[in-house]
Amino acid sequence: MIEPTFRHKDLLASLLIGILYCLNSPCLIAQQLSWTADDQGYELTENGETRLFYQRATKDKDGQYPRANYIHPLYDLNGDVITEDFPEDHLHHRGIFWTWHQLLVDGKRVADPWISDGIVWEVTRVETSVLSEEMAALDAQINWVVDGEPVVEESLRLHYERVDPELYRLTVEVWLKPLAKKVQIGGSEDPKGYGGFSPRIRLTETTGFFDQNGPVTPQELPVAGGPWMNITQQGPEDPGVVILGEPDRLPSYQGWILRRKNSMQNMAFPGREPITLSEKEPYLHFRNQLLVHQGLQTAEIDLFYRDFIQTEPTTDQALAD
């Protein structure tokens, strides 16, 4: 089991971002965070209002597309659900998820996790914690099971932080340790090559896409964009969700798969050519963060991104059988 632990490289930067943001926003009042478990998963509430639900149990639609280990629903600060599960246009899409079309073991294609075919996500351990009035975390261990045998051990950390009355951030961090011989993952087997971290966010006819350089136009194939993408109700400073990632640290990063309607948004890696998961440390590891906000300026998002990349796991992760 991979135990995620964290440290701040630059505490001063973290303090600075909070000070600068609070200059333009109301001060944060005391929050009450709480985790509640049921037979389906784990719900995080804040002052009695649901913020997110982690799906631990396998869920399907009429026996099709069974899936687990994802986030849905995710709520905005108005209490509205901003993710979709089993959408009619792509029944295999599910909230905030991270997966690939290709899963191979010893050179043989064994499953298509993207469409939940031939695989079971067995969540074997979940630990929740409330770290402070503003922060909470969930740590989980998940086995990817094919034909009754685990082939990958996934370690997951979700970290929630209420930054301001008009903003929270949710970090999703994943490690993948192979349990079988020569385990490979790959994206869709076409020029799009999509796969990886994939939020299925509710879209409207006016949804806008913006990076640090301005508007971004979604296309059929991956588009070049910065390390974050602000998906808003319409304009660059409207309420929305910012997706942050670390493209420079992703193997064979392809770019952004963006869609104006009927789909997910994706920082695609590794593309159509599969990569082999390392059988020793460091295991494949990736992080993404969501900023759920009521309106942010580009300079503010840049500050949050700087803070995001300056917070990383320690290199001496402990392993246990």
Q: Give 62's contacts (C-beta < 8 A, 6+ positions apart).
A: none
CA dist 157 and 126 (Å) reads: 10
For residue range 46-62, what is the model confidence (pLDDT) as tens digits?
999 999 999 999 999 99
What's phi and psi for 116, nearest 5 deg? 60, 40
Residue 87 β-bridge partners = none
**Percent of the chain clearing pLDDT 70 (strictly above):** 87
pLDDT band at 311 (very low <50, low <70, confident <90, very high): confident
Residue 240 has pLDDT above 90, yes or no: yes
pLDDT band at 163 (very low <50, low <70, confident <90, very high): very high
* Res 24: pLDDT: 53
Sign of CA dihedral 89, 65, 199, 135: positive
For the segment 272-276, the average pLDDT, to the nearest whole number, is 98
CB count in 10 Å sphere of residue 295: 16
* Res 11: pLDDT: 41
H helix and E strand count, the chain? 2, 27
For residue range 215-239, what is the model confidence (pLDDT) as tens digits?
999 999 999 999 999 999 999 999 9
Sign of CA dihedral 75, 78, 79, 81: negative
pLDDT band at 6 (very low <50, low <70, confident <90, very high): very low
CB count in 10 Å sphere of residue 204: 11
For the segment 180-200, the average pLDDT, to the nearest whole number, is 98
Residue 178 has pLDDT above 70, yes or no: yes
3-state secondary structure of 63: coil
Q: What is the DSSP string of 154-192?
A: EEEEEEEEEEETTEEEEEEEEEEEE-SSSEEEE--SSTT
Burial class of 293 by CB neighbour count within 10 A (0 to 12, 13 to 18, 19+):
buried
Is 155 in contact with 174 (CB distance < 8 Å)? yes
Tokens read off for 114: 């993207």
Residue 320 has pLDDT above 90, yes or no: no
* Greater pLDDT, 249 or 5: 249
Q: Give 125's contacts (C-beta < 8 A, 6+ positions apart).
A: 1, 139, 140, 141
Burial code (b: 16+ CB inside 10 Å, e: under 16) for 108-131 equals eebbbbbbbeebbbebeebebebe
3-state secondary structure of 301: helix
Give CA 118 to chain center in angstroms: 23
For residue range 33-49, what is the model confidence (pLDDT) as tens digits?
999 999 999 999 999 99
Query: Which residue, among 308, 215, 207, 213, has the nearest Cα to 265 in the 3D structure?
Result: 207
Tokens read off for 200: 């299925």
Query: Which residue, among 272, 267, 262, has the nearest Cα to 245 in the 3D structure?
Result: 267
For residue range 97-131, what is the model confidence (pLDDT) as tens digits?
999 999 999 999 999 999 999 999 999 999 999 99
pLDDT band at 19 (very low <50, low <70, confident <90, very high): low
What's phi and psi for 17, nearest 5 deg? -65, -40
For residue range 64-110, what is the model confidence (pLDDT) as tens digits?
999 999 999 999 999 999 999 999 999 999 999 999 999 999 999 99
* Greater pLDDT, 305 or 18: 305
Tokens read off for 11: 């505490």
Sign of CA dihedral 74, 80, 86, 89: negative
* Res 317: pLDDT: 46
**Percent of the chain clearing pLDDT 90 (strictly above):** 87
Is 81 in contact with 202 (CB distance < 8 Å)? yes
* Res 30: pLDDT: 60
For residue range 123-161, what is the model confidence (pLDDT) as tens digits?
999 999 999 999 999 999 999 999 999 999 999 999 999
